[in-house]
Amino acid sequence: MERSQDEADAGSPVASNRSVEIAVYACLLGLAALLGFDNWHTGIGWDPTGPRPGYFPFYLSVILGAASLFGLARELIARTQASDTFVTRQQLARVAQVFFPTLAFCLVTQWLGLYVASFLLVAGFMYFVGRIAAWKCLLTAFLFSAAMFVTFEIAFDVLMPKGPLEALFGR
Amino acid sequence: MEALELLFFGFKVLLTWKILALMMVGLVLGIFVGVLPGLGGPNGVAILLPLTFTMDPTSAIVMLSCIYWGALFGGAITSILFNIPGEAWSVATTFDGYPMAQQGRAAEALTAAFTSSFIGSLVAVLLITFLAPGIASFALRFGSPEFFAVYLLTFCSFVGLGREEKHKTVISMSLGLLLAGVGMDTVSSQLRMTFGWAELYRGINFLVAVIGLFGISEILVTMEERLALRGHAASISLRVVLGVWKDLPRYWVTLLRSSAIGCWLGITPGGAIAASFMGYNLAKRFSKDPESFGKGRIEGVFAPETAAHASGTSALLPMLALGIPGSGTAAILLGGLMVWGLNPGPLLFVDHKDFAWGLIASMYLGNVVGLVMVLSTVPLFASVLRVPFAAIAPMIVVSCAIGAFAIQNAMFDIWLMLLFGVVGYVFKKIGIPLAPFTLALVLGNRAEDAFRLSMIGSGGDLRVFWSNGLVGTITTLALVLLFWPLLARLLGIGRRRDR
């Protein structure tokens, strides 16, 4: 039942597969050119001892470029074909709901350490996206972050980025 | 019989309390990871890899391979109870598994799935036990040209035999090989493709890319689809288990056929996905009553599960014997070997006997223990799926970040992971396959080194790749596979692809 409701308000397409493919091929073509140029700079010739460091990657960038060009040309020529939807407005909104918190999580990790960031991410995501009762969110987030801390920092000796809070506890 | 002796030696390595405990932990974590939507075999292994960084290699590989077994078993739970294939290769399992659950035969379907996974893996492990040492000792005679030819064969067969559009496979592979070259060049110690950016000097770590490509991107895809989890309850009683097992001999042809398909496609990089579909389709085609497939027929669970797991397991054969992974997960395990300071390849069986045989023995033990464990704990793990996705998604993101950071203790890698997450999401949606990218990224440097060493040896003469019968055959075979679609069309060989 929920699905049909979903389909009904799926929203208008934001991008078609074809336009995204064209954009991706164009980016890859650019990347191939950039890397190809850099490798050409490093040296693509042969030394007495064999190929120079740029040789192997240079020809790989040529292959990458050629394959991207092929894809690009094919998508541009096949213009009459109807293309599938890459993402609808609603889908994009849902992807953003998880992408931006993840981005924020990475930023916060840099300043406050991973464990505080993980507490904020879990609690925030559950509360704002999942609309779950606040106490459940806080409790789950605390238990999760604490469990991660015990597992990695104490049991397995794998050290994570830490911030002022952990410093307070002398870790 | 030497293999059997060595296998016993392997069991002796395993039978310590510490390793057995790690095995159980690995299995539980694996089933957990397999049951969670948006995670599965390769992702789970990649994310949990950091747990093993401080262990000795044998304990590490045992735990990691148990995570993998657990994830394989766990994947079947979601396919059957929730109609959500945890992995692409479980898709075929849902065809008959979910209808069975709808008819109230969930326990039967689950028992069938677990048992056939067990059988498939067992056949593949037997194959590994008896073939891997032989192949490895044969490969000890390989020089650089032979190794490069084998790498070439792996890459070319992906392009030639893959189902994806060829240019997309080529893009994925060349991009992976290029990114593998970023950083310090191992032969000349010169920096390449770093653009003066210090963070890039140590190169792009393969595992960071994998965590982003599989873990983060999977979360994005799952979120986009907004899965409404509606599952069937199930608990498995001994009576059902025995009932299914009693009927097992009736399906021996299906089981054998699927095992054979799986082993073949696992060793050649056809992969578990192709194997599961082919297993299912062939069972249907040879059935007296093909109409009943898709409506809850137990054979429709046996066939794809056996094939998928035979394939997933036998993908470890080329990894162990030659250092060439046959699947994404095998590639990640290979990445693990390098982190623990082992050099994958034929020398593994000579230099690290306890490791190689410990791993093989753990495949037997992990499978048996895993089977018993999943059969007894299904209700517990199925309840994991009732936890809201809004709670699971951020936890997976955090686990991914921990995994990415722990590999090189670099914050930059967390950002790289996020970037690869977005790339993976876009690639998945427009059909650029990720497996060739993973493979290229992990093998890139070794392939390049083998190429350059061959060139140094031959004074730049490309004919070195046809200098003797062995290397010539492999190189020619590689080129034939690369142009296979074209050749097949020219020769008018109609290829029927199983869908």
Reported ipTM: 0.89
Rounded mean pLDDT of B216-220?
Answer: 83
**Confidence bin at B16 (pLDDT 50/70/90):** confident
- The predicted structure's pLDDT at residue A23: 92
Question: Does residue A100 have a pLDDT over 90?
Answer: yes
Percent of chain B with pLDDT over 90: 5
**Confidence bin at A102 (pLDDT 50/70/90):** very high
Rounded mean pLDDT of B12-21?
Answer: 83
**Domain containing residue B284:** 2-228+237-491
- The predicted structure's pLDDT at residue B440: 85
Q: Do the Cβ atoms of B306 and B279 come closer than 8 Å? A: yes
Among the partner residues A110, A117, A157, nearest to B54 by beta-carbon distance? A157
Of B33-37, B86-90, B240-244, B273-277, where does mean pLDDT reach its minimum? B86-90
What spatial distance separates the first Cα and last Cα of chain A, rounded to whole Å? 51
Of A147-156, B79-88, B245-254, where does mean pLDDT reach its minimum? B79-88
- The predicted structure's pLDDT at residue B320: 82
Interface contact A15, partner B, CB < 8 A: no
Among the partner residues B50, B224, B390, nearest to A158 by beta-carbon distance? B50
CB contact under 8 A, A56 and B181: yes
Q: Give the model confidence (pLDDT) of B429-458 as tens digits.
A: 888 888 788 878 888 888 888 888 888 888
- The predicted structure's pLDDT at residue A117: 93
Q: Give the model confidence (pLDDT) of B256-284 as tens digits.
A: 888 888 888 777 665 677 777 888 888 88
Tally the domains of chain B: 1
Rounded mean pLDDT of B1-5?
Answer: 73
Of A70-84, B32-46, B100-114, B297-311, where does mean pLDDT reach its minimum? B32-46
SS3 B130: helix
- The predicted structure's pLDDT at residue B423: 94
Question: Does residue A163 have a pLDDT over 50?
Answer: yes
Q: What angle do CA A24, A28, A29 make, to 5 degrees?
A: 115
**Cα→Cα distances A15→A20, A68, A71, B218, B224, Å:** 7, 20, 18, 20, 14
CB contact under 8 A, A121 and B394: yes
**Cα→Cα distances B124→B82, B253, B308, Å:** 28, 16, 11
H or E element in which residue B416 lies = helix B411-430
Q: Give the model confidence (pLDDT) of B115-129 as tens digits.
A: 888 899 899 988 888
Contacts of A10 (CB under 8 A, 6+ apart): A88, A90, A91
Rounded mean pLDDT of B210-219?
Answer: 82
Rounded mean pLDDT of B357-365?
Answer: 85
- The predicted structure's pLDDT at residue B265: 79
Which residues in chain A are closer than 8 Å to B423, comparing Cβ atoms?
none
Q: How far apart are CA B308 and CA B255, in angstroms?
A: 11
CB contact under 8 A, A95 and B220: yes
- The predicted structure's pLDDT at residue B385: 67
**Confidence bin at A122 (pLDDT 50/70/90):** very high
Question: Does residue B496 have a pLDDT over 50?
Answer: no
Average pLDDT, rounded, for chain A:
84
In this structure, is residue B161 part of a structural domain?
A: yes
**Cα→Cα distances B252→B109, B112, B121, B208, B446, Å:** 17, 13, 15, 42, 42
**Confidence bin at B497 (pLDDT 50/70/90):** very low
User: Please, what's the b/e burial string for B244-267 (b: 16 or more CB within 10 A of its CB; e: otherwise)?
Assistant: beeeeeebeebbebbbebbbbbbb
Contacts of A79 (CB under 8 A, 6+ apart): none
- The predicted structure's pLDDT at residue B499: 38
Percent of chain B with pLDDT over 70: 92
Question: Does residue A104 have a pLDDT over 90?
Answer: yes
- The predicted structure's pLDDT at residue A120: 94
**Confidence bin at B146 (pLDDT 50/70/90):** confident
Interface contact A152, partner B, CB < 8 A: yes
CB contact under 8 A, A67 and B167: yes
SS3 B164: coil
More reliable by pLDDT, A82 or A43 = A43
Average pLDDT, rounded, for chain B:
81
Q: Give the model confidence (pLDDT) of A59-91 as tens digits.
A: 999 999 999 999 999 888 876 566 778 888 888
- The predicted structure's pLDDT at residue A170: 67
**Conformation bin of residue B459: beta by default, left when phi > 0, alpha when psi is -120 to 50:** left
Which residues in chain B are closer than 8 Å to A71, comparing Cβ atoms?
167-168, 171
Rounded mean pLDDT of B404-421?
Answer: 90
Which residues in chain B are closer than 8 Å to A39, comparing Cβ atoms?
192-193
- The predicted structure's pLDDT at residue B86: 63
More reliable by pLDDT, B291 or B176 = B176
Among the partner residues A2, A99, A160, nearest to B405 by beta-carbon distance? A160
Question: Does residue B492 have a pLDDT over 80?
Answer: no
In this structure, is residue B499 part of a structural domain?
A: no
CB contact under 8 A, B390 and A130: yes
Q: How far apart are CA B475 and CA B146, in angstroms?
A: 8
Of B38-52, B91-105, B324-338, B484-498, where does mean pLDDT reach its minimum? B484-498
**Cα→Cα distances B415→A127, B390, B402, B418, Å:** 25, 23, 12, 5
In this structure, is residue B259 part of a structural domain?
A: yes
Q: Which amino acid, B142?
A: F
CB contact under 8 A, B398 and A118: yes
CB contact under 8 A, A64 and B171: yes
In this structure, is residue B497 part of a structural domain?
A: no
Rounded mean pLDDT of A97-111?
Answer: 92
**Confidence bin at A3 (pLDDT 50/70/90):** very low
- The predicted structure's pLDDT at residue B241: 79
CB contact under 8 A, B168 and A71: yes
Question: Does residue A4 have a pLDDT over 50?
Answer: no
Which residues in chain A are closer than 8 Å to B451, comparing Cβ atoms?
51, 56
Beta bridge partners of B122: none
